[in-house]
Amino acid sequence: MVPVRTLPFLARQPVSKLHSLTPAKAEALAELGVHSVLDLLTYYPYRYHDRRRQARLADLRPGDEAWVEVEVRRARQVPAPRGRRGRGRAELLVVDASGSITVTFFNQPWRVKQLPVGSRPLLFGRLTTFNGRRQLVNPTVDQAGDPDRRVVALYRSSDKAGITSSDFDRWIAEALQRTGAVADPLPERWRRQLGLLTRGAALWAVHRPDDPSQQEPARRRLAFDELLRLQLELGMRRRATARDARGIRHRVDPDPGADLVGRFVDQLPFALTEAQRRAIDAIRGDLAAPLPMHRLLQGDVGSGKTVVALAALLTAVQGGYQGALMAPTEVLAEQHLLSMRSLLGDLQVPDPSTLEGSRPLVVRLLTSRIPAAERRATVAGLAATGGTPGRVDLVVGTQALLTDDVRFARLGLAVVDEQHRFGVEQRAALRDKGRAGGGADPDLLVMTATPIPRTAAMAVFGDLDLTELDQLPAGRAPITTVWARSDADEAAAWDRVRHEVEAGHRAYVVCPLVEGSERVEARSATEELARLQRDVLPALRLGLLHGQMRGPDKEVVMDDFRSGRVQVLVATTVVEVGVDVPEATVMVIEDADRFGIAQLHQLRGRVGRSHLPSWCYLLAELAGLDESPGSEAPGPDAGPGDRPRQAAASADARRRLQALEESADGFYLAEVDLEVRGEGSILGARQKGRSDLKLASLRRGDRPLVEAARQVADDLLDRHPDLAGDEVLAEEIRLFVGEEEAAYLLKS
């Protein structure tokens, strides 16, 4: 009987078992993170060469790829241009009966010796033109007259490890041969319905396609498997939570006298947007229901998420519960507290036990930075039952909220800002906070600071319900965004600052990111303030804000900025989130190319918060991208990793800055960000196990695949709760999500 191999089986086979691999190469592979046969089989190619075609030189058109059989007529070495790194290049003139062509080997001057005048190699490459000359750049060379005429997969090679693409090709071929039949855990009827290849066929086709048309079906099947594993994991998580849940039915419709949320909304200086109303309704529905809420609230910068979060928290409070808001950093927690305090005003909590029938709402901060005495009081206030003086209603903090000595008397709802840094363990810890002392599971609302594209949100946060705030408050004037590339552009930015301040408005200047500690960053911001005051804006009143300042000092500066005593706030990225000064109309971001899209969008969101027109200047001079093949450009055999790093970085920066110039839509920018940075940026810490999304894309294109995976996962879990009786899949999940989490999910 032919054995059928499962992925876990392949994961247990070390690559050293392959005959085609020497022990030295096995060690080199280990450095690339390739240990098992499974690692090798999932080391996917980044591109293919169709090496089946041979052509006459005269018949090649630009972009064509083919073998050509030629004779070398001239060969010379050209050293690298002065001041440039690299080994120089070989330049050949080759001919066949139909014509002639230039061949350039960048960084391979030795090709002149390998291919002397008169030699007759076969070359495979893509025809390009440069300065009107037809040429092949870094073609594949075959001198034996026996070229590999097939569709060849190209693998990312590693100079450092001394492993070439054709090494991978050889090893993977052996691995496929010897593996034989591969188990397919996808039920046949789903496979047919979705039009997917079998897993075994897909593995063959992705590495050794007979024809380029097989590549996409192969990718689709293997990508589907990645997404299915993810959805199974999320689905089991969802089910485990629901199964174990001891939820709270919150009071969402209290008597008019006890309606804290109503009072809160009434005292706001604005009316809620439709989107905010819808979000609050959805949340109220969840809160009233017996199962704990697990909801993701997405909204663009400035869409008013804080108000929604507060309405939810106050719903808990009006029923006698406590609420917690957790932020990823101390600075963000402090900012949240500030903006919550200003929205809450002097809101009173209905309390029949007092003479007035009400008492002030108690909101506290809990981070590792607050003084010990204050911390003790807050911790005591959290553990105090209702009616006790000093009892805390709402607490804002960092992960410090999850430490053991923090006990809640009656935690009803936790709001978590920026889920990407929040995993299963934290969620469990939070649940236990609620259960301690015989309580129930708190509801959970997750907010993202900037939107995540929908497909990605579905794939990664599939265990949460999704609500989007897809509307900004009315009356916002647009923000004009300018990428200031030249000295003249920069001068115009500072002119705008002067002009706006003269009109009574305010400006932010965000200092360059500095590598190193927060201290280093603070010092450089201090220096930048001095420079701006001396050389650039001597007539204006400047203030400084950075993360190293003490809380009270920060508040003084922010108050001064709000009132106008400080006209220009020079700051590090601490202004990124939460800072809210409607009179601010100019944002200048220095060295903007060093920031990511989401961060720039978030920073820009500090202006344009009123009816006043606003401006955002992104200061960044980027070195020109030299795209001429005359420079040391890589050839077709070089992996993308070989692109000169600086040029790649500046191309990405250019893309980011242009995107910001052209759009203020956070959902659109999130898609661009995903394209520029790849999936890792979103998966981040959320996926604890190995990063399993190698072929699946969270971009729009794979959305149907994400949806299909979700559907299949639900079907499988309905039939086999916890994948009981489906050992192949269960084992696979264990393999990919990590033992610990799998144990939790699979209840084994």
Judged by CB, which is closer to ligand ADP: 293, or 301?
301
CB 358 within 8 A of CB 349: yes
Cα separation, 544 vs 556, whole angstroms: 10
Restricted to residues 606-625, the positions that interact with ligand ADP (CB under 6 A) are 609
User: Quick check: helix, strand or coil at residue 70?
Assistant: coil
Query: Which of 53, 62, 383, 409 is closest to 212 using CA atoms?
Result: 53
| Contact partner at residue 301 from ligand ADP, Mg ion, none, CB < 5 to 8 Å by partner kind | ligand ADP
Residue from 107, 273, 572, 614 in contact with ligand ADP (CB under 6 A): 273
Over the window 587 to 606, marking each residue x when it contacts ligand ADP by CB under 6 A and - when it does not, the resulting string is ------------------x-
Query: Which of 411, 416, 414, 424 is closest to 446 using CA atoms?
Result: 416
Q: At its nearest, how many Å lie between ligand ADP and the CB of residue 609?
A: 5
The helix/strand count (H/E) of the chain reads as 25, 26
| Contact partner at residue 414 from ligand ADP, Mg ion, none, CB < 5 to 8 Å by partner kind | none
Q: At its nearest, how many Å lie between ligand ADP and the CB of residue 301?
A: 5
Give me the DSSP letters along 323-347: EEEE-SSHHHHHHHHHHHHHHHTTP
CB 218 within 8 A of CB 187: no
Restricted to residues 615-654, the positions that interact with Mg ion (CB under 5 A) are none
Over the window 534 to 573, marking each residue x when it contacts ligand ADP by CB under 6 A and - when it does not, the resulting string is ----------------------------------------
Specify the DSSP element, H or E, that contains 589: strand 584-589
Restricted to residues 293-312, the positions that interact with ligand ADP (CB under 6 A) are 299, 301-307
User: Quick check: helix, strand or coil at residue 55?
Assistant: coil
| Contact partner at residue 304 from ligand ADP, Mg ion, none, CB < 5 to 8 Å by partner kind | ligand ADP
Residue from 179, 276, 335, 467 in contact with ligand ADP (CB under 6 A): 276
Over the window 444 to 483, marking each residue x when it contacts ligand ADP by CB under 6 A and - when it does not, the resulting string is -----------------------------x----------
Which pair of tokens denotes residue 649?
A: 């970085």
Residue from 441, 500, 580, 671 in contact with ligand ADP (CB under 6 A): 580
Q: State the pairing for strand pair 133-137/151-154.
A: unpaired
Q: At its nearest, how many Å lie between Mg ion and the CB of residue 197?
A: 46
| Segment near ligand ADP (CB under 6 A); pick from 119-127, 133-141, 181-189, 272-280 | 272-280
Cα separation, 95 vs 265, whole angstroms: 80
Q: At its nearest, how many Å lie between Mg ion and the CB of residue 299?
A: 9
Over the window 326 to 365, marking each residue x when it contacts ligand ADP by CB under 6 A and - when it does not, the resulting string is -------------x--------------------------
Q: At its nearest, how many Å lie between Mg ion and the CB of residue 342?
A: 12
**C-alpha 11: how far from its chain's center?**
28
| Contact partner at residue 428 from ligand ADP, Mg ion, none, CB < 5 to 8 Å by partner kind | none
Cα separation, 695 vs 263, whole angstroms: 51
Q: How far apart are the first and last CA of the chain?
A: 31
Binding-residue total with ligand ADP (CB under 6 A): 17
| Contact partner at residue 687 from Mg ion, ligand ADP, none, CB < 5 to 8 Å by partner kind | none
Q: At its nearest, how many Å lie between ligand ADP and the CB of residue 304?
A: 3
Query: Which of 590, 564, 587 is closest to 502 using CA atoms?
Result: 564
| Contact partner at residue 185 from Mg ion, ligand ADP, none, CB < 5 to 8 Å by partner kind | none
Restricted to residues 304-323, the positions that interact with Mg ion (CB under 5 A) are 306
User: Which burial class, exposed, middle or buried, applies to 657 when counting CB atoms under 10 A from its CB (0-12, 13-18, 19+)?
Assistant: buried
Count the neighbouring beta carbons within 10 Å of the beta carbon of residue 642.
17
Query: Which of 219, 226, 216, 227 is closest to 711 using CA atoms?
Result: 227
CB 620 within 8 A of CB 657: yes
Give me the DSSP letters along 518-553: HHHHHHHHHHHHHHIIIII-TTS-EEEE-TTS-HHH
| Contact partner at residue 307 from ligand ADP, Mg ion, none, CB < 5 to 8 Å by partner kind | ligand ADP
Q: At its nearest, how many Å lie between Mg ion and the CB of residue 263?
A: 22
Q: Which residue has the tokens 């052209």?
A: 662
Return residues touching Mg ion (CB under 5 A): 306
Return residues touching ligand ADP (CB under 6 A): 270, 272-273, 276, 299, 301-307, 339, 473, 580, 605, 609
